[in-house]
Amino acid sequence: MIRSKSKRTPSWGDAVIHTAPLPTTTPSHTSDHSRLKLFSGSANIALAQEIARYLGIDLGPMVRKRFADGELYVQIQESIRGCDVYLIQPCCRPVNDHLMELLIMVDACRRASARQVTAVIPYYGYARADRKTAGRESITAKLVANLITQAGASRVLAMDLHSAQIQGYFDIPVDHVYGSPVLLDYLRSKNLEDIVVVSPDVGGVARARAFANKLDDAPLAIIDKRRQAHNVAEVMNVVGDVKGKTAVLVDDMIDTAGTILEGARLLRREGAKEVYACATHAVFSPPAIERLQGGDFEEVIVTNTIPVPETQRFPQLTVLSVASILGETIWRIHEDSSVSSMFR
């Protein structure tokens, strides 16, 4: 059960030097957390600030610079010797820069004699290439896992991995948490009727089934889809009854929005009276915004694992915060208590 904390509206700034202390609320945690250190990369500072406020601590001071040739420089500006360090950095756009920054942060903390370094990765980049589907391909999900491990991370905390098998690519402990609790709470607050949870493809059936079970055992439907190329989706038909019902499309991410858009159109043709799209990661690669704005959606619901700037906001979009889930998970890891019990 996630403890309720006060929330604030995120500020989507681009600051890269974190030296000023953040305002904090009085934490409900009573144990000593002087050895718990929290640092943020430049990918999602607003989320890191929310997590820090949930934990009742300040983000640690860190300097990030870029040399003239594009090389990154990171320096931790306080002693972390013997501390448990948590580095918050989703691997969102620009993916390569943010991934490299995370690796440098991990290496800096390891060389500063941190007791344990946990890479907190709300969005794990390169996750879609998690197996070989043709000859001479790279499994980049495994490659990134090797890079993070070799850089010196002791543990990884990730949210809604593209496939659960990625946990096995690491030779260090992985805590895999889910953004579904905040999505479910929001949907329940809307008091929707005649809900059917829809998986946009066969690969997402397990995710959609778990979502449906927690949404008062709602019925499940599946969209049979054949993908002809990357970011190009062809929707074939719906397996299940959606006529006259409120369809909730559930996926782990929305990238170019092709899958979600075609799924919504098909559901409308099959008689769904309303269509809601839910996803944890708002990747929103062009032309996602144009597609979503012109799509057949009552609402598009995502979380803030990836920052959504004002230029990508549109009337049907709702962004929910996962700071309490990540903050509570960090505290439980620090206190050596159960993480899985949060989702029972």
- Which residues are known to be catalytic? 225
Rounded to 5°, angle at Cα 164 from 163 and 170: 105
DSSP per residue over 223-277, as a string?
EEEEEEETTEEEEEEEES--TTSEEEEEEEEESSSHHHHHHHHHHHHTT-SEEEE
**Alpha carbons 252 and 272: distance in angstroms, whole number:** 22
Backbone angles phi, psi at 164, to 5 degrees: -65, -25
Closest Cα to residue 195, out of 264, 276, 295, 139? 276
Indicate the SS3 state at residue 87: strand
Please confirm whether the linkage preceding 200 is cis (ω < 30° from 0).
no
Show the CA angle centred on residue 152, arms to residues 148 and 155, nearest 5°: 70
The end-to-end CA distance of the chain, in Å, is 8
Q: How many other CB atoms sit within 10 Å of the CB of residue 40?
A: 26
Q: What token pair was written down for 31?
A: 């144990």
Tell me if 86 sits within 8 A of 39, measured CB to CB: yes
> What's the rounded Cα separation, in Å, for the pair 50 and 38?
12
The b/e string for 232-259 (b: 16+ C-beta within 10 A; e otherwise) is ebebeebebebeebbbbbbbbbbbbbbb
Write out the two tokens for 284.
Answer: 């929103």
Which residues 6+ apart lie within 8 Å of 214 measured at CB? Answer: 180, 184
